Amino acid sequence: MHIELRVYTGLEKYVGVRHGEMTTVAIDGTLTIADLLHRFGIPPAEVTSALVNGRHKELDYRLQDKDRVSLFPPVGGG
């Protein structure tokens, strides 16, 4: 199985891609978003929003083949 992963605003350093660049990740068996974070060494506290196929999901969501995952850190503005 494979998923598409995109990371934003500082999370790129964990995955080794540019901002918003898609990377394909092979997954075997059952994998949650939390497992995905662990695989790349992304601290869960650095992800405040996880989208799967454009919908917000909790970190315990079980990923499916061909899911499109986007991870965002906390963002601030003024």
pLDDT digits (tens, 9 = 90+) for 14-24: 999 888 899 99
Q: What are the tens digits of pLDDT across the range 38-48?
A: 999 999 999 99
| 23 CB burial (10 A radius; 0-12, 13-18, 19+) | middle
pLDDT of residue 11: 94
Domains and CATH numbers, the chain: 2-72 (3.10.20.30)
Q: What is the pLDDT along the chain (78 residues), one digit of tens a residue?
A: 999 999 998 999 999 988 889 999 998 888 999 999 999 999 999 999 999 999 999 999 999 999 999 999 987 665
Task: Check residue 29 and give its pLDDT.
Answer: 83
Q: Which helix (H) or strand (E) holds 77?
A: none
